[in-house]
Amino acid sequence: MQEETKKEHTATEKQPEKKKVNLDIRPYLAIGLTVILIVVVCIAIFFVVLRFDGLFSGFQKILQSLQAILVGVIVAYLLNPIMKWFERFLYKRSRQKSKELTRKQCQKIRAASVAFAMAIFLAIIVVLIWLIIPRLVVCIEDIVTSMGEKVQNLTKWVDRLTKQNSAISGKLDTFIADASVYLEDWLRKNVLQQSDFIASITTGVYNVVRAIFNVIIGFIVAVYVLMTKEKFIGQLKKIIYAIFRPRYGNVVMEVIRKADDVFGGFFIGKIIDSLIIGCICFVGLAILRMPYVALVSVIVGVTNIIPFFGPYIGAIPSVILIFLVDPMKGLYFIIFIIVLQQVDGNVIGPKILGNTTGLSPFWVIFAILLFGGSFGVIGMLFGVPIFAVLYYIIKRVVEHVLKKRRLPEGTDEYIELDTVDTVTNEVKMKATEEPEASIRKYEETEEKK
């Protein structure tokens, strides 16, 4: 019996074991999902390119229907710093009387802060409408009605300057005549009609009603957003952490905070800076007794919102208008605007804006040209903060990858970089010579010659 059991045991040991089949399909599943995703993205891109006009028109209709909501959100975003300042002031005053505030007291403080911010905003709008717009209408009407006389005076001034060269005089006269015709036609068709629309609401009833409706709804939306902004922020965070994992959700929140700092600091600072520049320009032109003081000040102040190129964009039409009245005053205005922009760029602007975007002048020009060429004036206005946020995201991604590879993250460490050791990841610098050594070498070669 023992021998039989031993034989059976040895027989079972000799039998080959059955191989286990590996049924792990996860690598193939990942490859399949990647291929499907690539195909879907290609189809989506093809559909967008093929149906771009339809998508753009549909997107435009959505924006038009939500125009009142967008106006309210923008107004609330701009008024939020004023509301927060007044809210902090009221909290300090209230806590002097009682250390703990009830929920009703907090709601009353918030309501009073929103009312204060809205009152300031409405006061600014009323001042602009009643003080500036009527003067603008008078200036534009004067330009249009007396354009011919001003062109003749300018032509006579040019003829006196170029008496000795008739060829140059003829070309300048032709250029002035063509430019004046174009300017007069543009003012009649585009500007003067808008001024009449602002001055009198008897024309374009549909546009007036729609504009009033959007403004009223926008103010209501702004009040509602300011009163319950914490709830909206909480809902946004809830959606972000529902979509992303906590690690990536934190990254998204960091990018949103950076975008808020960039957009808020840039636009609020630019608006304050432009208001100051417009007021200084108004006072300076009034002292110099320039023509069209209100119109030129508004042009300079509004275009100053556009970074870098804005002052030049506003100065060109202003110089033309003043030149038509008095060429010498036009030259004085050029000197005045150059001095004003230097003061703004070196003193006023840095004090108000600081380094809100974090971009060098090169990247500011790049963003304005890129977005301005693609989306016009709106692109020039929004291009810098949008590019600043994109620049920040790219910078964080690059620094994260370099940190994982144990490479230095600072840009200065890569200026003199030659190679990186593939084993130790050690950065090797280029062999640089001091200026004195290079000068001595140059002298030695010259002596040998």
More confident residue, 95 or 162: 95
* Statement: residue 172 has pLDDT above 80: no
* Statement: residue 267 has pLDDT above 90: no
Structural contact between residues 69 and 221, judged by C-beta atoms closer than 8 angstroms: yes
pLDDT band at 266 (very low <50, low <70, confident <90, very high): confident
> Averaged over 310-319, what is the pLDDT?
82
* Statement: residue 161 has pLDDT above 70: no
pLDDT band at 237 (very low <50, low <70, confident <90, very high): very high
Q: What is the pLDDT of residue 25?
A: 58
pLDDT band at 197 (very low <50, low <70, confident <90, very high): very low
Q: What is the pLDDT of residue 202?
A: 43
Task: Enumerate the β-bridge partners of residue 419.
Answer: 428
- Name all contacts of 221-224 with Cβ < 8 Å and 24+ positions apart: 221/68, 221/69, 221/71, 221/72, 221/73, 221/76, 222/71, 222/72, 222/73, 222/75, 222/76, 222/79, 222/118, 223/76, 223/114, 223/118, 224/72
428 SS3 class: strand
* Statement: residue 248 has pLDDT above 90: no
Span of 27-41, 80-94, 163-177, 415-429 with lowest mean pLDDT: 163-177
For the stretch 96-131, pLDDT in tens is 777 777 888 888 888 999 999 999 888 888 877 776
| Rounded Cα distance, 215 and 122, in Å | 11
| Rounded Cα distance, 92 and 412, in Å | 46
Span of 8-17, 71-80, 204-213, 393-402 with lowest mean pLDDT: 8-17
pLDDT band at 365 (very low <50, low <70, confident <90, very high): confident
| Rounded Cα distance, 421 and 225, in Å | 55
The 10 Å CB-count burial string (b at 16+, else e) for 143-162 is bbeebeebbeebbeebeeeb
Q: What is the pLDDT of residue 116?
A: 92
Quick one: how far is CA 71 from the chain centroid? Answer: 17
> Averaged over 332-353, what is the pLDDT?
84
408: which 2 tokens?
């230095």
| Rounded Cα distance, 426 and 432, in Å | 18
- The CB density around residue 115, as the number of other CB atoms within 10 Å, is 14
Read off φ and ψ for residue 402, nearest 5 degrees: -65, -35
Q: What is the pLDDT of residue 304?
A: 87
Read off φ and ψ for residue 429, nearest 5 degrees: -90, 160
More confident residue, 247 or 183: 247
Q: What is the pLDDT of residue 195?
A: 46
Read off φ and ψ for residue 157, nearest 5 degrees: -65, -40
Q: What is the pLDDT of residue 234?
A: 92
pLDDT band at 314 (very low <50, low <70, confident <90, very high): confident
Q: What is the DSSP string of 216-230?
A: HHHHHHHHHHHHTHH
Comparing CA positions, the residue from 329, 335, 347 lying closest to residue 288 is 329
For the stretch 122-148, pLDDT in tens is 888 887 777 667 766 776 676 666 666
More confident residue, 149 or 113: 113
The residue type of 114 is: V
> Averaged over 159-169, what is the pLDDT?
57
Q: What is the pLDDT of residue 43?
A: 72
Q: What is the pLDDT of residue 203?
A: 47
More confident residue, 277 or 415: 277
Span of 190-204, 288-302, 375-389, 426-440 with lowest mean pLDDT: 190-204
Q: What percentage of the chain has pLDDT greater than the value 90?
A: 5
Q: What is the pLDDT of residue 238?
A: 93
User: Of all helices (H) and strands (E), which one includes residue 417?
Assistant: strand 417-420
Average pLDDT of the residues of the chain:
75
Comparing CA positions, the residue from 153, 152, 136 lying closest to residue 187 is 136
Comparing CA positions, the residue from 64, 84, 321 lying closest to residue 213 is 64
Q: What is the pLDDT of residue 235?
A: 92
| Rounded Cα distance, 331 and 359, in Å | 34
| Rounded Cα distance, 246 and 257, in Å | 16
Q: What is the pLDDT of residue 364?
A: 84
Q: CB-side exposure of 357: number of CA atoms within 13 Å?
A: 26
For the stretch 273-313, pLDDT in tens is 888 888 898 899 889 888 888 888 888 888 888 887 787 88
* Statement: residue 18 has pLDDT above 50: no
